[in-house]
Structure 1
Amino acid sequence: MNTIISRIQPLTVVCFMLYATFFFGQQNNKKLSLKEDFKNPPSTSAPGVYWYFMDGNLSREEMTKDLESMKEAGISNLIFLEVGIGVPRGPVDFMSTEWQDLYAHAVREAERLGIKILLGAGPGWCGSGGPWVTPEESMKHLVYSETEVKGNKKIKVKLPIPEQRSTQWHNLKDPYYEDFAVYAIPNSVKPTIKDINEKALYERDPYSSKPNVKPFLPDPIGGSNLDGGKILDHADVINITSFMEPNGKLVWKAPKGDWTIIRMGKRVTGASTRPSPEPVIGLESNKMDSVAFKNHLANYTDILLEKTAPRKEDSGWTGFHMDSWESGAQNWTEGIVEEFIKRRGYDPEPYFLTYTGRTVKSTEITERFLWDLRQTCKELVLENHVEFAKKYAHRNGLELTIEPYDMNPAGDLDLGAIADVIMAEFWSKRFGYVTWYAVLEATSISHITGRPIVGAEVFTSSNKQAWQEYPWSMKDQSDWALALGVNRFIYHTFAHKPLGDEYRPGMTMGQYGVHWDRGQTWWPMVQAYHKYINRSSHMMQQGQAVSDILYLTPEGAPMVFTPPTDALEENGAIPDKKGYGFDGCSPKMLMDKALVENGKIVFPDASSYEIMVLPNFQSMTPALLKKITSLVEQGAKIIGTPPIKSPSLTNYPESDDEVKLMAQNLWGSMQIPNERQDRKFGEGMVYWGGNLTDLNADELYPSYLNTTELLGQMNITEDFSSSNDHIRFGHRKTDDQDIYFVANRKDVFQTTKCSFRAEGTPELWIPTTGETRMITDYSIENGLTIIPMEFFPYESFFITFSKNSNGKKITTSNAGNFEKLTNLMTLEGSWQVAFDTKYGGPENIVFNELQDWTSHENRGIKYYSGIATYKKTFEMEGIDDKKYFIDLGKVNDIARVKLNGKDLGVVWCAPWRIEVSSSLREGANELEIEVGNRWINRLLGDQQAPDANVRKVKFNNGLLGEKEFTTGRYTFTTEAAMRSFKFKEPLSSGLLGPVQLIKN
């Protein structure tokens, strides 16, 4: 090296040294900057809330208090929605002048406080509509009626108008009807197509909540799906539209035979602004027509944009939000025939009778037409609704956020990929639907598009929740979401509190939601949990996600991505990924952006993948197969079997020949081998046959186990593992750091060895406190860093690996990674305890020893909900420079610790201790511990004598319809919130201890 440097000109040496100093300085600065952010995380990663208003129950003054309480609690963003659920109507009609003024007030106040508002695309939560949407511009179906006649004579018959199609989700009736065509077909041809309502887009039920809804429809060339019966040929169909009079009377000389007359026409789907405030109940706008969407916005957001101008860019109204897709499907829009011909290359009209469930020409041709229909409708939705929404948002200085699930007929991944910020939704693991797949979809979209934010509507809850959730009960699921990649938490739900602080818990969103609002007992302490989420979210926004496996979904719509069953650790509503990360990818995403670099499939400025797994389908369009062939030729590695046909009628039958030719070229054979075959093609590899192929399997993909066995043979080790398999993980990578999030999945203390597929200087970053420390006890084996770790129940850490310029391992002999603590004293004896008399507790009382509030003989304590303050004095001698902690033992449910007048912070999770070194002193020490529990106890007490039904509550300002309510002595909430309240006994509450002073 010295010889080489001696040959370099002095100026060059100086430049080289300056560059090296600059480069390594930059890396250190980045690391220091991230550490500073970790200690004091920025508001850009702080959590948000759904701010729900209940059908006209709005108060200007209380809106300000809501927003101020959010700011104090560490909330930086919100989604503004109004619904009609479970409460009497209030005095402020949606979109009235008063309502608009209140919305403008909210925007101005949010700007003052630095809070971002995202406004939903329409009233209610499910879409974009209202009473201003005309039937002509609403979502429509092509519907039909059938009349049987005998021929060989002149027919005079009144044809019934086809009925509007309705589901339990879409039943807003409307008389609108417009004829399309009338056909006569042989009576012998009967409906035979199974699942025609799904295949012809009459219905798309919620995958999350309705049994037996398919994540995707079967391969259109996958074999017969008929109950039997005759097939309709084009020559059998007679168009008799011209023989029907305007009043629906058919006058037609029918040929010999028995005929079925099919009258086809257009009607609304019945999708409405569900669950809308009453004044704006109306039809959903046409999701395939940008003009219809534009006209909806003209009656809604255009007005509000003018009302709130001028607006700030970094706070106030900054976003346009499309919530979970609950408008269902439609199969008609004006101009669909022309659009179909332009996109698919043939006239669809001869096949419209498939809508009736009849097979036209053949089973496969019918299925392929229906595939083309769904694909055309998908493209129209994406272009004319979602892409239009994005352009509209950007034109008005807003970002677009989308939850692309749950009744989406256009494909979740493709719809969500259009968003500026993709969002998922997950329900509380104990109180709601199972929607983990929506999180996998949203994180996949983020990883493939490179957009750093993955938002989620979190802890949505059903009517069984009843104030049971609180920060500690939610930590396990919070960490699950973080590990998968969610890094913007938006809590469902902060219900607006128009009744004020006097009436608590106050108004709720009916019986739904986790009640994440200022009416909560523990709200003054929730900021500590929010800071944990903020800090962790910021870390999970760094760099790019690390994944190994890319699962390609089949072509077509609808489409919900679900991985192989064995790719997830079974864990109820929150299954965890195993040691190899994976993502789902749609064909459109692959064709639009996928490249190959160094043998990996990469997406520009996004994630990269070692291998791609094809779906277990026999069909593939020539365009997709051409893309896959190109990727393999450039070095990509894939698992899958060769397709044999196209799923579409476009360019049929030549398209099938094209697919077969390309497949033969890529796979080398169309005969699936009994043993696994590894085929070299160009620079890449194709793996198929043996245990990687099972065409009779129910699974869409080969098993995760077999795929990862192959990765192991390719010397690609698991990204993460633990010796007891009870630790979940997430992995991000920046230019100079690997960042792992690891969390205990169990409610028990455990020690384990964790293996990381990363090298460098490891550090332990503690997200509950913001503290960082070097890891000194570790080893490196075969490219894996192995670290012995210990976890308290549901405890979590970040492990970072920084590039080390000298390549040396930093180690300290006989040093562990975790503090070893010694108990100095247990604070036994009596405590002074003060309760809030507004909720029935005594102002001052002595506890001779720590005890559960529910076991106390005083009813005001047994049924108390709120915050109580414990005080105690203890003596301390011989303080050294070690760290000192107060360990609270057992707490129900959250606590704030003060020592000698200094607020040391909130303890909300295991290990239930807090450092007190900065305020501990020699001699007497005054300890104060505020403890908060949940509302359940006081609500239960208010249902029992002598506190039951002692008050009459009525609001003369129009709130809650000025109805009179009978309620308990201390609490008041809306009736719907109490319908699920089934508690017979109060929940364990208070400081139970033992409280100990400990040091390291």
Structure 2
Amino acid sequence: MKLLKYTLLASSLFLSGMNHWASAEELKDMKRLFVSPPESARPGVYWYFMDGNLSKEGMTKDLESMKRVGIGSVVFLEVNVGIPRGHVDFLSTEWKDCFKHAVRECERLGITMILGIGPGWTGSGGPWVKGEESMRHLVSSVTRVTGGSKQTIPLEKPSPKPPYFGEGAFTPELKEKWLDYYEDVAVLAFPATNGKVSIKDIEEKALYYRAPYSSAPGVKQFIQREEQDKPLEPGDAIAVDQIIDLTSLLRDGSVTWNVPSGEWMIMRFGIRNNGAVTRPAPLPGVGFECDKTDTTALMAHLRTFTGSLFDLLGERDTTLAGGLKILHMDSWEMGAQNWSPRLREEFKKRRGYDPQPYFPVYAGLVVGDKNISERFLWDLRQTMQELMLENHSLFVKAYARQHGMQLSIEPYDMNPMQDLELGASADIPMCEFWSPGGYNTSFSAIEGSSLANIKGQRVVPSEAFTAAGDGWRQHPASMKNQTDWAFAAGINRLTYHTFQHQALPDSLRPGMTMGPYGVHWDRNQTWWPYVDAYHTYVARCQYLLQKGQTVADILYLAPEEAPFVFRAPKSALTGDYMVDKREYNFDACPPSLLYTAFVEDGKIKFPSGMEYRLLVLPAFKTMTLDLLKKIESLVKDGAVVIGLPPVQTPGLTGYPDSDRNLQQAVENLWGGSQQPEGLKFHTYGKGRIAWGTDIQNHLDNLYPDFDLTSKVLREMHVPVDFQSDQGTVRYIHKQVDNVDYFFVSNRVDKEMSVNAHFRTSGKQPYLWDPVTGKTSLIPVSTDNGKQTSLELAFAPYQSYFVFFSGDRQSASAASTNIKGKRVLMSLQGSWNVSFDPKWGGPAEVEFPTLQDWSKHTEPGIKYYSGTAIYTKQFDYKETLSGSLFLDLGLVKNIAKVWLNGQDLGTIWTSPWQVDVSGVLKQGKNELKIEVTNLWGNRLIGDEQKVNDGIVNGQWPEWLLKGEKRPSDRYTFTTYPHYTKDTPLLESGLLGPVHIIQVLD
């Protein structure tokens, strides 16, 4: 049961950190807080600093601009990506003064700061990390000798493995440290093998390398073990009992040994740095990544980095809403290590045998046979996972707690552990998703939200809209569909990637970038003054999604594998890049968390209160006896399980008796080892287990096809959780006490009406619109006692919440949201338009009709980026009764409307309408519309002009000297996203603009 050691540590906060369900009084407040969301519901940003380009003045402007538009948190990271170095060296006195200023400003403004635990985004390390404190590999050299005499044999010093990212990441000093560091570990001799048999994919199996799963082609979700397909010939493998330990004979790189007769191989084993460096760190922060299995090495790092910052800040008032609150480990991009300072002792303690005779397996040599060697490699990976969890992530979590903080982790990419296990060790598991066209990391949303659900962590943050080559092209409307996808996937705190710290003068816009990366979520965006309308939408959604407990029926158990990336069955999802769950929601569970589960009323429950109807096992050949016994106890207590039995244990611990014990447990639980035809249920205790050839014949990403799983749920009389008749609506189901509510979203860019079915009954449905903040009663189509059906209408990409609460009210009190509309007036003719001359536009111009700026003959309009003000007077003669709206038609890209001097708000998404009831007058009306486009056109226009910007990675002299810039460009940016030939972007108010009446 040593497996449980870190399990219990990881789950110790379930009850103490669990958010309670809303009380009756809190439920009364939900509508009020939906309209005006609390600060805790606000989205965040990655606040990136670029290698010494820091400014206190810029920090204050950044943070104050965030506060104005509803940003509630920042992830503070300094990196070095495609920007010339600045003058404030990382961790210098001036740098620390800037950092302290940023923390104090966050405290003043009520903004939460989240601090990465090292320079760059990779992990934890720096130039202060010594070779013996770094991530290390066990490496080896081989010397062949002929026996029959006493010999002094020189043994070659093993070379380091090439760094995964190459030697280009090293500074000259760091490369020298990398080459110099070496420590001997062991010398082993054995009769020479014939060299014909080696272990496939050994460098991954032995944790030398783990490539980024999301971005490198061909990276495996998990490591397939190689089976022994035929008997070995003499000389194919090393017999354990023939290995001789010569370690004590090693002197100055040689051994003097009376070599027995025959051909022998001598392997010299030593440890080398694995080549992982802080990346992409500011130059003064480039150094080795610290050992992820050694608390001594980790504390040496933390004392130098976070410890020095804590000392700088002094005693902090933890009751403040803002300030430094969370430590953060970003995506795991430092690769793998396979050595720990006490590996041999820890291995013996955890696995029950000495690993040293199996060291040749690290090099791909077969010890015993392939099955034995693969079992050893599994034991090695499990041991390293346990050490990394206990001595790195859980240690940092405890360290954070000592300082009144929490720990968030993005547990994926190059992770040599199981993603779910690393995420489970965090206070706050975090995920990531890229903008369309980027890497598909949608799997991490399922991993992160699953862990949060199981652990009772109501907040599920995500690095959001990560992008490459975006070029300021995205804006709230273009991001609406993916925003809603994230919410339905379980994410409920968007952290935009990235708000680039703007250290340059305000006149130089768009200003600083993170090279080609990021969605440019910063104060220099053209539409930044209007973005709070979108942030308010986000905060309303996030408030409700953080408030309730998620409803899910299916729990997919991950196998005991490291590394392992959880991928849901494709059949359980719809879509491609933005994958949505089907009619039964599900989560993924790491093996460690299953040990905390119990059964109540036939449901699998966790201390957090989360519960599931069905446990689904992976179709995996191996399982430890401990895990199988846990599953057996759940079934005995009443759980329903679907899955095939394992056939063997994975490691060498207790082998071969462990396999016989496992088979006996399988016989008991499954009622035999022979698969039945089709899909059959076996009763065991109070529960049942479903298995058979249907599963074997219909596997999907290790699990039964979703239709098979759904079949079991239907057999259990569990109605589908949500379904729409056109299948174009995504959802997530939440509960607070006896209130059910669903977030539903149109997945397509067109209007539609659907009949939607919700798993709830006998309650009154309400529609809560997070764009407007308005709520309304809606009528029930049918209620069969298990499901409520409603007719719903959606605008393109529209979304809202459907609440089911309280007793059903009379039909007359409710009104369907499927409404007709009638055009009462079209605003045709000319418009007065005012552009900002500071950005090259005419101060006043008349448009005879609405038109695309980029098609205009006037260069100042054609290449204009920013805000233009449209004004128009019109006489209105139609009725003023009913619900009246101003419909703007097509807008590129965001608009703010005034009618008769009254601010009617910002319009940023479909339907592009604003309510004018009570404001519109019969007779003369005055309309003003501020319309803002994107940066692209002005940047393209400036590419026609002389370049006076960054050349060869150097800041221009005029900027360094504070002189007037030599060119007549309007814009300045640190990365060229456009050329002079890039097609211009459609811009402006394109209409048609109508006054419409919505018909009940």
State if a TM-score over 0.5 links the two structures.
Answer: yes
- Alpha-carbon RMSD across the aligned residues, in angstroms, is 2.3
Question: What are the within-5 Å matches in structure 2 for residues 563-574 of structure 1?
Answer: 563-569=568-574, 571-574=575-578
- Equivalent in 576, 579, 582 of residue 580 of structure 2: 576
Deviations 1:379-431 (A, max 9, x none): 1111110111111111111121111111111211111112222110111012x
For 2:408, the equivalent position in structure 1 comes to: 401
Alignment-derived partner of residue 536 in structure 2: 531
Contact 1:170 1:272 in 2 (8 A): no
What do residues 861-891 of structure 1 show as CA deviations (whole Å, max 9, x unaligned)? 0111111110111223566453321110000
**Of 70, 74, 79, which aligns to 1:78?**
74
1:218–1:460 distance in 2 versus 1, CA, 3 Å: same
1:375 aligns with 2:375: no
Q: Number of residues paired by the alignment? A: 962
Shift of 1:150: 3.0
What is the alpha-carbon distance in structure 2 between the residues aligned to residue 355 and residue 125 of structure 1?
Answer: 30
Deviates more, 1:876-885 or 1:523-532: 876-885
Q: Residue 750 in 1 paired to residue 755 in 2? A: no
Matched, 1:707 2:706: no
- Asked if the contact 2:777–2:815 (Cα under 8 Å) also holds between the matched residues in 1, the reply is no
Q: Which residue of 2 aligns with 1:415?
A: 422
- Out of 227, 237, 240, the position equivalent to 2:246 is 240
Q: Mean alpha-carbon deviation: is it higher for 406-415 or for 219-228?
A: 219-228
Q: Report the secondary structure of 2:674's partner residue.
A: coil
The one of 203, 220, 223 aligned to 1:214 = 220
* 3-state secondary structure, aligned to 1:53: strand
SS in 1 for 2:868: strand
Q: Bigger shift: 523-532 or 306-315?
A: 306-315
- In the alignment, the residues of structure 2 paired with residue 150 and residue 289 of structure 1 have an alpha-carbon distance, to the nearest angstrom, of 40
Secondary structure of the structure 1 residue equivalent to 2:547: coil
- 1:506-655 aligned at under 5 Å gives the runs 506-569=511-574, 571-591=575-595, 593-655=596-658
> What are the equivalent positions in structure 2 for 1:247-326 lying under 5 Å apart?
248-313=253-318, 314-326=321-333
Q: Map 1:651-730; keep pairs closer than 5 Å.
A: 651-694=654-697, 699-730=701-732
* Rounded Cα–Cα distance in structure 2 between residues aligned with 1:899 and 1:227: 89
Report the 3-state secondary structure (helix = DSSP H, G, I; strand = E; otherwise coil) of the residue aligned with 2:703: coil
* Contact kept? 1:762, 1:775, Cα under 8 Å: yes
Q: Report the CA distance between 1:966 and its aligned residue.
A: 7.9
What is aligned with 1:984?
A: 982
Percent of pairs with identical residues: 48
Alignment CA distance shift 1:572-1:676 (3 Å): closer
Change (3 A) 1:952 1:684: closer
Q: 2 CA distance for matches of 1:469 and 1:391? A: 39
SS in 2 for 1:299: helix
Q: Offset at 1:575?
A: 1.1
CA deviations 1:52-95 (Å, max 9, x no partner) are 00000011111100001111111010100000110110000000
After superposition, residues 897-916 of structure 1 pair within 5 angstroms as 897-916=897-916
Contact 1:108 1:316 (C-alpha < 8 Å) held by counterparts: yes
Separation of aligned partners in 2, 1:57 and 1:577: 43
Separation in 1, partners of 2:918, 2:99: 45
Shift of the 211–728 alpha-carbon distance from structure 1 to 2, 3 Å rule, reads: same
Report if the CA contact (8 A) 2:193-2:237 is conserved. Answer: no
Distance 1:892 1:638 in 2: 52
Conserved 8 A contact 1:753-1:786: yes
Q: Deviations over 1:574-609 (max 9, x none)?
A: 111111101111111101x21111111111233211
Conserved 8 A contact 1:950-1:968: no
Q: Identify the residue that residue 14 of structure 1 maps to in structure 2.
A: none
Q: Counterpart of 2:462? A: 456
Alignment map for 1:720-869 (pairs within 5 Å) = 720-759=722-761, 760-804=763-807, 808=808, 810-812=810-812, 815-869=815-869
Describe the SS at the equivalent of 2:790: strand
Does residue 205 of structure 1 match 2:216? no
Q: Deviations for 1:547-576, whole angstroms, at most 9, x for unmatched residues? A: 11111111121111111121111x232111
Match of 1:327 in 2: 334
Once the two structures are overlaid, the 10-residue window that deviates more, 214-223 or 98-107, is 214-223
Q: Secondary structure at the match of 2:251?
A: coil
Instruction: Give the gaps of 5 or more residues in structure 1.
Output: 1-25
Code of the aligned partner of 1:376:
T
Instruction: Give the SS at the match of 1:540.
Output: helix
CA contact (8 A) 1:943 1:968 kept: no
Report deviation, 1:270. 1.1
Given the alignment of the two structures, is residue 140 of structure 1 paired with residue 147 of structure 2, yes or no? no
1:898 is paired with a residue of what secondary structure? strand
Letter in 2 for 1:72: R
Which residue of structure 1 lines up, in the alignment, with residue 123 of structure 2? 127
Show the counterpart of 1:12.
Answer: none
| Partners of 1:850 and 1:991 within 8 A in 2 | yes
Write the distance in 2 (CA, Å) between the matches of 1:146 and 1:963. Answer: 64
Q: Which residue of 1 aligns with 2:146?
A: 150
1:338 is aligned to 345
Quick check: 1:194–1:225 contact (8 Å CA) kept in 2?
no
Q: Is residue 941 from structure 1 mapped to residue 941 from structure 2 by the alignment?
A: yes
| Code of the aligned partner of 1:459 | F
Contact kept in structure 2, 1:189 and 1:358, CA below 8 Å:
no
Q: Flag the 1:669–1:250 CA change in 2: closer, same or farther, 3 A.
A: same
Q: Give the one of 436, 439, 450 matched to 1:444.
A: 450
Letter of the 1:292 counterpart:
A
Query: Residue type matched to 1:599 in 2?
Result: G
Could you tell me how far apart the structure 2 residues matched to 1:127 and 1:422 are? 15
Shift of 1:119: 0.6
The question of whether the paired residues in 2 share the 8 Å contact of 1:850 and 1:992 is answered with yes
Aligned amino acid, residue 429 of structure 1: P
Q: Can you list the C-alpha shifts for 1:470-527, whole angstroms capped at 9, x where unaligned?
A: 1111111111110011000000000011112200110100110111101111111111
Partners of 1:227 and 1:535 in 2: how far apart?
68
Equivalent-residue separation in structure 1 for 2:153 and 2:786 (angstroms)? 81
TM score, norm. by length of structure 1: 0.93
Instruction: Quote the residue 2:7 is aligned against.
Output: none
Residue 766 of structure 2 aligns to a residue whose secondary structure is strand
**What is aligned with 1:183?**
188
Helix, strand or coil at the partner of 1:680: strand
Alpha-carbon contact 2:278-2:286 (below 8 Å) kept? yes
Mapped partners of 1:561, 1:835: distance in 2:
52
- Range 185-194 or range 874-883, more displaced: 874-883
Aligned-residue offset at 1:996 = 1.1
**Offset at residue 810 of structure 1 (A):** 3.3
Aligned partner of residue 321 in structure 1, secondary structure: strand
* Letter in structure 2 aligned against 1:205: A
- Match of 1:245, as an amino acid? R
Q: Match for residue 5 of structure 2?
A: none
- Deviation sequence 1:697-736 (CA, Å, 0-9, x none): 5731111111112212222121111111111111111112
- Deviation for aligned residue 1:206: 0.8
